[in-house]
């Protein structure tokens, strides 16, 4: 049996070309390197924009590395046992983010040892996947937001996403009207409140913002508020039928199951790193399929794009959309040793030749 021989980790701070806010000018990548007992190597990573990078690194160095050595190196084989090993420090959050560094390296090593890519292991279901233009843009002046929307149109995106949550909903409406004017009536316009509202404010705001025909509302309430999301979904079903999208801040398949079972989410957006890697991401995808809920992976297009190519079609369910935050891809930021494993053009994500996951960090 091939086992894990060693796992190393280091913290890389990647400067953002377009800051996500005054205090978010870079993102933290915890790059991992794994060696198997047969000598095969794999590279993975954990990720957190601003908070917790050092904590994730410490968890990998002090708790995950030693516990992983000697365990099976087959992708997914040791995930549950490792999660249970870490559970004393929490079932999700820092623990699952850190665990992704191991899981991704295992998948990368397996693909490289087989002489192919991770999509080869998973089985591609489509040659390309749709992408949408996105941005962390609530702090943008109106003119800059409009210019961003113009770039999205010029890039060929059929769908775009804009942040909402200004102190006055009238300003959100003004900004969304301007974006709608740029993108036209035929492109989808998604809105993301990033947990800024409470239940009543979300209800009132969405009544106003319905004018621009949003395709979904993302994280309207605190991500932990299951009951609030369920009640908001009930209110929206009675009025606009606007679907609620959540998932970037849910960390386990159990929380996704809770939200889907309660009718608190109609769209799920797992972040492959925050849930612990490809292994749990695939479980969440199966769960979403059973509930006939669209799954659109959150951020990390170089990784999410590869997974979107491998997600099976579900009858009556929209295909996955890959989020492309402007000027935030690892390739465009110069963070990778090799060329990006995916290319995004004309609103589509396609794989380009690479080995494994194709994500080795400088």
* Catalytic residue IDs: 163, 298
Q: How far is the C-alpha of 233 from the C-alpha of 236, rounded, in Å? A: 5
CA–centroid distance for 191 within its chain: 16
The span from the CA of 139 to the CA of 127, in Å, is 36
Q: Which of 18, 45, 215 is nearest to 132 (CA)?
A: 215
User: Is the CB of residue 27 less than 8 Å from the CB of residue 330?
Assistant: no
The enclosing H or E element of 286 equals: helix 278-290
CB 132 within 8 A of CB 324: yes
Dihedral sign computed on CA atoms, order 129, 80, 68, 51? positive
> Percentages helix, strand, coil for the chain, rounded to the nearest 5?
40, 20, 40
- Report the C-alpha gap between 99 and 84 in whole angstroms: 11
Task: Assess contact for 158 and 130: CB atoms under 8 A.
Answer: yes
Cα–Cα separations (whole angstroms), residue 186 to 111, 142, 320, 323, 357? 40, 22, 19, 19, 35
């Amino acid at each position: 049996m091939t086992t894990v021989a060693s796992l190393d980790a280091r913290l890389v701070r990647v400067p953002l070309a377009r800051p996500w806010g005054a205090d978010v000018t870079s993102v933290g990548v915890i790059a991992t390197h794994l060696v198997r007992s047969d000598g095969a190597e794999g590279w993975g990573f954990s990720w957190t924009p601003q908070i917790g990078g050092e904590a994730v690194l410490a968890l990998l160095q002090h708790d995950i590395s030693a516990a992983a050595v000697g365990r099976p190196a087959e992708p997914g084989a040791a995930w549950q046992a490792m999660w249970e090993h870490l559970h004393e420090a929490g079932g999700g959050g820092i623990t699952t983010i850190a665990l992704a560094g191991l899981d991704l390296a295992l998948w990368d090593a397996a693909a490289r040892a087989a002489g192919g890519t991770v999509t080869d292991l998973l089985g591609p279901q489509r040659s390309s996947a749709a992408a949408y233009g996105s941005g962390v843009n609530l702090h943008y002046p109106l003119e800059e937001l409009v210019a961003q929307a113009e770039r999205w149109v010029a890039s060929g995106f059929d769908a775009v996403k804009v942040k909402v949550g200004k102190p006055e909903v009238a300003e959100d409406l003004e900004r969304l009207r301007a974006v709608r004017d740029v993108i036209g009536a035929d492109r989808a316009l998604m809105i993301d409140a990033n947990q800024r509202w409470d239940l009543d404010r979300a209800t009132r705001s969405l009544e106003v913002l319905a004018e621009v025909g949003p395709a979904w509302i993302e994280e309207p309430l605190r991500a932990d508020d299951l009951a609030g999301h369920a009640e908001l979904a009930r209110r929206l079903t009675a009025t606009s039928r606007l679907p609620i999208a959540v998932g970037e801040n849910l960390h386990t398949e159990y929380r996704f199951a809770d939200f889907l079972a309660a009718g608190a989410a109609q769209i799920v957006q797992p972040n492959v790193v925050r849930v612990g890697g490809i292994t749990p991401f695939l479980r969440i995808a199966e769960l979403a399929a059973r509930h006939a809920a669209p799954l659109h992976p959150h951020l990390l297009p170089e990784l999410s794009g590869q997974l979107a190519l491998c997600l099976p079609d579900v009858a009556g369910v929209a295909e996955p959309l890959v989020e492309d935050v402007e000027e935030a891809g690892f390739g465009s930021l110069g963070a990778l040793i090799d060329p990006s494993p995916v290319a995004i053009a004309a609103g589509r994500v396609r794989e380009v030749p690479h080995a494994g996951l194709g994500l080795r960090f400088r």
